[in-house]
C-alpha cells in the first residue's frame, strides 16, 4: 500500500470562501461607502497621493451584474518580504478566480519579489504549476525578495515591465512596507495615465498589519501555533527536569503580537510585552528586576525552572535603548561612508561612542561588547538596526544572573538559576498553513481578483468577521492610503503603512494581564501540541485566541 505524505493529502483540501465570492464573478458587485482619511499626516499624504487618497471602503455583494468581469486580462503577482504560511494559497485563489472569470486570462508570477518586476523576470502560472503548491507553506512557487521600488529608475523599469507584458493589474502580497510600495505604484501608474491596477494582500506573521477592516494578517495563525507547540514542548521538559529557565525570543520585528498570542496559548512563567514596557517607561534594569522577582518567588517554592517569552523587538521599546538605537541609526545614515571605512569591531565601537550624545553614551558603554557589536551590524533595507540579530534573550539571562547573585549575597533569593536561550523565528514562517490560514489566504487571493474585476486600484484585499465560520465572512477592500502615516526612514519622513502594535486597553492584553500573576506564582503551563488539520472544527478550524478576544468572544 502506498503511503501518502501530508503534502500530497493537503493538495486536495478545498479552502472555504465567504458567501459573496461563491457565485459567478459576473454576479459580484462592489458597494462603496464614504470617503476615507489616513490615520495621520493627512494633508501631507493627500499631496503625495493626489489620485488615490480618500477612496471609499468597498464591500463585495453577490448581487447585480459586473459586465466587465469576463474581459480578457493579464495579471501579475509578486510575493514580497519575509515568508508567511499561506502565500501559495493567495496565488491559488487569485489564479482560480482569474480563470473562473475567463479561461483565457493569464497570471504572471514575478520571480524573487519586487526585483523580478523591475528586471522583468517572470513565469506564467499554469494548472500544472499551481496544483503543486496548493495548501502548502513557503513562497517557493515564485520566490520572494526585499527589493524596495523607490528610485525614479526603479519605478520607470517597473512600469516598462508592465507595459511590455500588457499587464492589466498587479497584485502585491506583502507586509506594511510592501503594501506601501503597492500604494506608491498605484499612484505612479495613475500619474502616468496608465490603466494598470494595483491591489495589495496583507501578509506578515508578525500580526502588525491590521485594523478594523484587516482583522488579521495571514500567516500569524500558523506561525503562533507552530511556536506555541515548541514552547509547550520546552515547558513540559522544564516541568519534567525541574532545573532550567528557558528564555525564548519570538519573532516580531516591532509589535509583540506573537509573544502575546503564544503566552495566551501556553501560559508561561513570564512574558514581556514591549508596548507595556514603553508605556510604563521601564528601564532595562526594571525589566530584569521583574523577571528576577518571578525567579525568586518560584525558587522559594522549590521550583527552580520556568519559561520566559521575549518579543524580538523589545530592545527598541525600552526608553534609553530606543534613544540609543535612534541615534545610532541616524549616525550610520548620515556618516555611512566614514563608519564603513573603519575596521569592524573595536574601532567602530570607539568611533560611535565618541559620536553619541552624553545622554546615551553611558547606556551604550554599559552593554556587553557582543551586544554593542550587534547594534552596529548591517542595517535593514530601511536603514534601521536588525533587531533579530540582537541576542536580547542572552542579554536578559546575563543581567538576571547578575541581579540574582546580588540578591543572594543579601539572602533575598533562595535556590539556583540555570538558563538556556532559544530564538523561534524561521521555524514558523513556512509551515503548512492551518485550515484557518489556508481558507483565509485563498479567500484573500480570490477577493483580490474580484477587486480587479471591479475596476479598483490602490486597495488592500479585506476579509472580515474571520473569527466566525467562513459562512459569515465579509469580502471587500480598503484604500491603502487609509492605513498610512509618515515615519522617519533613512533620515527623512516617508509614507508608510502604520504598524498596529499591541493595544494595552484591548481585550487580548487585558486577558493576559489578568492571568499572568497566577502563571508566575505557580506552574500553569499549557501544552498545545501539533497543528491539527482534521477533526472537529473546534479543534482544526478555530482561529487565534487574539482574534477571538478582539471580536468579543470568550475563550
Give me the phi and psi of 274, to 5 degrees please. Answer: -55, -40
CA distance 400 to 299: 14
C-alpha grid cell for residue 293? 522577582
Q: How far apart are CA 512 and CA 310, in angstroms?
A: 15
Cell numbers linked to 521: 506564582
CA distances to 273, 291, 298 from 415, rounded to whole Å, are 27, 15, 9
d(CA 350, CA 373): 11
Enumerate the active-site residues.
Answer: 206
Encode 433-493 in three state secondary structure. CCHHHHHHHHHHHHHHHHHHHCCCCCEEEEEECCCCCHHHCEEEEEEHHHHEEEEEECCEE
SS3 content of the chain, % helix, strand, coil (to 5): 45, 15, 40
Of 44, 46, 67, 66, whose CA–CA distance to 55 is shortest? 46
The single residue listed with the C-alpha cell 529608475 is: 153
CA atoms within 13 A on the CB side of 486: 13
With beta carbons less than 8 A apart as the criterion, state whether 240 and 301 touch: no
Cα separation, 193 vs 203, in Å, equals 29
* Cross-strand bridge partners of residue 270: 308
- Backbone torsions φ then ψ of 155, nearest 5 degrees: -60, -45
Which segments within 218-361 are labelled E, that is strand? 245-250, 270-271, 306-311
Report how far residue 334's alpha carbon sits from residue 316's, in angstroms, rounded to the nearest whole number.
20
140: Cβ–Cβ under 8 A, 6 or more apart, which residues?
Answer: 133
Amino acid at each position: 500500500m502506498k503511503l501518502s505524505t501530508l503534502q500530497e493529502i493537503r493538495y486536495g483540501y478545498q479552502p472555504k470562501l465567504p458567501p459573496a465570492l461563491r457565485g459567478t464573478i459576473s454576479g459580484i458587485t462592489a458597494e462603496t461607502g464614504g470617503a476615507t482619511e489616513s490615520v495621520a499626516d493627512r494633508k501631507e499624504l493627500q499631496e503625495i497621493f493626489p489620485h488615490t487618497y480618500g477612496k471609499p471602503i468597498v464591500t463585495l455583494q453577490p448581487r447585480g451584474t459586473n459586465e466587465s468581469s469576463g474581459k480578457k486580462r493579464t495579471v501579475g503577482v509578486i510575493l514580497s518580504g519575509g515568508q508567511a504560511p499561506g502565500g501559495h494559497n493567495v496565488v491559488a485563489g487569485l489564479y482560480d478566480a482569474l480563470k473562473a472569470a475567463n479561461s483565457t486570462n493569464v497570471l504572471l508570477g514575478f520571480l524573487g519579489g519586487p526585483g523580478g518586476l523591475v528586471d522583468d523576470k517572470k513565469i506564467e502560472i499554469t494548472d500544472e504549476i499551481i496544483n503543486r503548491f496548493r495548501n502548502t507553506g513557503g513562497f517557493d512557487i515564485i520566490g520572494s525578495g526585499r527589493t524596495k521600488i523607490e528610485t525614479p529608475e526603479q519605478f520607470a523599469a517597473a512600469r516598462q515591465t508592465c507595459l511590455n507584458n500588457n499587464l492589466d493589474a498587479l497584485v502585491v502580497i506583502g507586509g506594511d512596507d510592501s503594501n506601501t510600495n503597492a500604494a506608491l505604484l498605484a499612484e505612479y501608474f495613475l500619474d502616468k495615465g496608465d490603466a494598470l491596477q494595483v491591489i495589495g494582500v496583507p501578509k506578515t506573521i508578525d500580526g502588525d498589519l491590521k485594523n478594523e477592516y484587516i482583522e488579521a494578517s495571514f500567516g500569524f495563525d500558523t506561525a503562533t501555533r507552530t511556536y506555541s507547540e515548541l514552547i509547550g514542548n520546552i515547558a513540559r521538559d522544564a516541568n519534567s527536569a525541574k532545573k532550567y529557565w528557558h528564555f525564548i525570543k519570538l519573532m516580531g520585528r516591532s509589535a509583540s503580537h506573537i509573544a502575546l498570542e503564544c503566552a495566551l496559548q501556553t501560559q508561561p512563567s513570564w512574558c514581556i510585552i514591549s508596548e507595556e514596557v514603553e508605556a510604563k517607561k521601564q528601564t532595562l534594569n526594571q525589566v530584569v528586576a521583574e523577571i528576577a522577582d518571578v525567579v525568586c518567588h518560584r525558587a522559594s517554592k522549590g521550583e527552580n525552572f520556568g519559561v520566559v517569552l521575549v518579543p524580538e523587538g523589545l530592545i527598541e521599546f525600552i526608553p534609553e535603548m530606543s534613544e540609543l538605537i535612534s541615534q545610532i541609526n541616524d549616525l550610520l545614515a548620515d556618516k555611512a561612508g566614514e563608519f564603513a571605512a573603519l575596521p569592524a569591531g573595536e574601532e567602530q565601537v570607539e568611533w560611535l561612542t565618541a559620536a553619541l550624545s552624553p545622554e546615551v553614551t553611558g547606556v551604550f558603554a554599559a552593554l556587553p561588547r557582543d551586544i554593542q557589536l550587534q547594534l552596529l551590524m548591517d542595517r535593514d533595507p530601511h536603514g534601521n538596526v536588525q533587531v533579530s540579530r540582537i541576542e536580547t534573550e542572552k542579554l536578559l539571562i546575563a543581567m538576571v544572573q547578575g541581579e540574582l547573585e546580588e540578591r543572594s549575597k543579601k539572602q533575598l533569593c533562595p535556590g539556583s538559576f540555570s538558563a538556556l536561550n532559544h530564538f523561534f523565528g524561521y521555524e514558523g514562517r513556512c509551515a503548512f498553513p492551518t485550515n484557518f490560514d489556508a481558507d483565509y489566504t485563498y479567500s484573500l487571493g480570490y477577493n483580490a481578483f474580484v477587486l480587479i474585476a471591479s475596476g479598483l486600484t490602490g486597495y488592500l484585499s479585506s476579509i472580515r468577521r474571520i473569527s466566525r465560520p467562513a459562512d459569515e465572512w465579509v469580502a471587500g477592500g480598503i484604500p491603502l492610503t487609509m492605513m498610512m502615516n509618515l515615519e522617519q526612514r533613512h533620515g527623512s519622513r516617508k509614507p508608510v503603512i502604520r504598524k498596529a502594535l499591541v493595544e494595552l486597553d484591548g481585550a487580548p492584553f487585558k486577558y493576559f494581564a489578568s492571568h499572568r500573576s497566577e502563571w508566575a506564582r505557580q506552574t500553569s503551563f499549557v501544552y498545545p501540541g501539533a497543528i491539527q488539520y482534521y477533526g472537529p472544527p473546534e479543534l482544526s478550524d478555530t482561529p487565534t485566541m487574539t482574534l477571538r478576544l478582539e471580536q468579543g468572544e470568550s475563550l
